[in-house]
Amino acid sequence: MFETIIGGFDLFFSPLAIALTFAGILIGLLVGALPGLGPLMGIILLLPVAISLPPLAGMGFLISIFVGGSCGGAISAILLRIPGTPIAAATLLDGYPMAQKGEASKAIGIALAASSLGGLVGGVVLIVAAPVLAGFASRFAPPEYTMLAITGLLTISLISEGTFVKGLLACCFGLLLSTIGTDEFSTGYRFTFGSHHMLNGFHIVAVVVGLFAISEMTFQMARDDLMDKPKLEIARPSLKAVVQTLRHWKNLLRSSAVGVFFGSLPGAGGDISSFSSYAVAKSFAKPEEKYGEGAEGGVVATEAANNATVGGTLVPTLALGIPGDASSAMLLGALLILGFIPGPEMFLMQPDFVGGLFLVYMASNVMLFFAGILAAPFFIRVLLIPKAYLIPTILILCCIGTFALQGSVFDLMVMLGFGLIGILFRLAKYPLAPIVLGLILGPILEANLRRSLLISRDGYWIFVDRPVAAALIVIDVVILVGFAVVSVRRWRAAKQSCGLDPHMRD
């Protein structure tokens, strides 16, 4: 573990890597603070820049955007009662009342300190757990990777917003998209329609920019607040926030643990972990703390959890090559483009690079606090910029970034096409994240399933013969049965509350 980190020193301690990590934190805080953007959008917009940089500097840039973006949403949640990102939604429960009591600076300071400390706890878990998991997974073969991919797809379909069926359908749509291009096993072309642009399928960045950024900007434009300027108090948080946060150290550690746990589960992102940690913190709190009326502990719980989630999410992403959410799927995509295959081999063959990634993550959480304290007044002023100026700027960035990937007009058309698909999916209340996971995990699932069957001398029994693969099958069955039981109970409860007997209905 220590050798890995020491090996990363040379890569991390370069002016470019440190400067880009710092820049990533500032950009992350900015995209987090601006309502409607968030860490995923920040990663998507800056991915084309990152993949043209030296690998560690590029990944440091993206990871720090992820870290900064996971905290930035607290600023608008506290000041405007509008969470910049869904993961900051729980922060407004106590953050906004604090601001109403004239404690906006204190609330933002605590949010920054809790995010930073929670992120560091997540980092410790990442550094300890990822190599252990990678070591364990070094004996994994195609059957285990097949089942891991299925588990990831199932859980994200189950946990994502909307119904399970819609999540599953969105996931299947992503899987179908992943079949476009060249079949590695038969070396034949699938759904390419004779176009060489389609030989590699759709570029993941063009798809994600279209699905998320173009559709989000379209919905933002449809609102009637394009020229609105909110009335804001320019808060100036101070370094004292660390002391104020550490007074809640038990809450901080507990919430960080909740964040790491949910982060390491595929599909369960920062929003679930922050609400869960808030609920846990509230249940442990004394009545006089008055959760929901401006309790410092509420801000500590949610912000520590959502940044610790980032560390947790990176554990399966780096150790297994199985991303936990859409943001980590983009990080995995960036690693692949930069020439690194996340998984046990990366820990074995490129330990220095892994060490560099650990250092980038830890440094970005330290920088988060100081950059946030210094630049908070600037981010608050940015919230005053009307959307009428922000939306065109973001759309131009989307077009430039997507075109710059391969200098391809085709990618721009893909981006616009998926923008339209994203709009339709949102209108029909289908989640978008399972599409991205389907697109990323699809090739992993297909290749390993076919490879398993080629290796097997006994057909599908290879999945039962191998203990880890068999255990994953059991977990998948338990997930599905558990979900079915919960769904039936909810359905019965809903029917009973309507005064209907569910058995009479059919």
Partner 1 sequence: MKPTLKMLTSAVFAGFTATAAMAEFPDRTIELIHPWGPGNAMAVSQIIAKAMGEELGVDMPVLSVPGAAGTKAQTTAMGKPADGYTVFDGYVAPLVLQPILGNADWDFSEFAPLHSAVSNAFAIGGRTDETRWSTFEEMMAYCQENRGALRYSSGSRNNLPHMVIAKALQSYDCVAQNVPYTQDGNAVKDLKSGVLDFSFINVGNYKSDPSAFNIMLVLSELPGSKASFDGAPTIADLQVDVGLSKLGPMGWTWWIVNPDTPDDVTDALRTAMGAAMAREDVKDAIAKIGFVPLEWDHTQYEEVVGSVQDQLSAMGNALTWEEDELKKLQ
* CB 188, min distance to partner 1, A: 8
Site string for partner 1, 449-478 (x = CB under 8 A): --x--xx-x---------------------
Site string for partner 1, 90-129 (x = CB under 8 A): ----------------------------------------
Q: What is the separation of C-alpha 94 from the centre of its chain, rounded to a whole number of angstroms? A: 24
344 binds partner 1 (CB under 8 A): yes
196 binds partner 1 (CB under 8 A): yes
497 binds partner 1 (CB under 8 A): no
* CB 54, min distance to partner 1, A: 10
The string of DSSP codes covering 214-241 is IHHHHHHHHSS-TT-----------TTH
DSSP tally for the chain: helices H, then strands E = 23, 2
What is the rounded distance in angstroms from the CA atom of residue 476 to the CA atom of residue 479? 5
Residue 180 φ/ψ, nearest 5 degrees:
-70, 135
409 binds partner 1 (CB under 8 A): no
**What is the 3-state secondary structure of 443-486?**
HHHHHHHHHHHHHCCCHHHHHHHCHHHHHHHHHHHHHHHHHHHH
485 binds partner 1 (CB under 8 A): no
236 within 8 A of 105, measured Cβ to Cβ? yes
Among 239, 341, 481, 500, binds partner 1 (CB under 8 A): 341
| Side chain identity at residue 159, one-letter code | I
187 binds partner 1 (CB under 8 A): yes
* CB 40, min distance to partner 1, A: 24
Q: Which is closer to partner 1, CB of 183 or CB of 293?
A: 183
Q: Which is closer to partner 1, CB of 455 or CB of 486?
A: 455
* CB 472, min distance to partner 1, A: 17
Span from 28-36, 82-90, 337-345, 421-429 in contact with partner 1 (CB under 8 A): 337-345
131 within 8 A of 1, measured Cβ to Cβ? yes
What is the rounded distance in angstroms from the CA atom of residue 268 to the CA atom of residue 193? 37
Question: Tokens representing 3?
Answer: 């050798």
Instruction: Say whether 506 sits in a helix, a strand or coil.
Output: coil
Q: What is the separation of C-alpha 156 from the centre of its chain, rounded to a whole number of angstroms? A: 12
Binding site for partner 1 (CB under 8 A): 52, 138-139, 141-142, 181-185, 187, 189, 196-197, 199-200, 336, 339-341, 344-345, 349, 447, 451, 454-455, 457
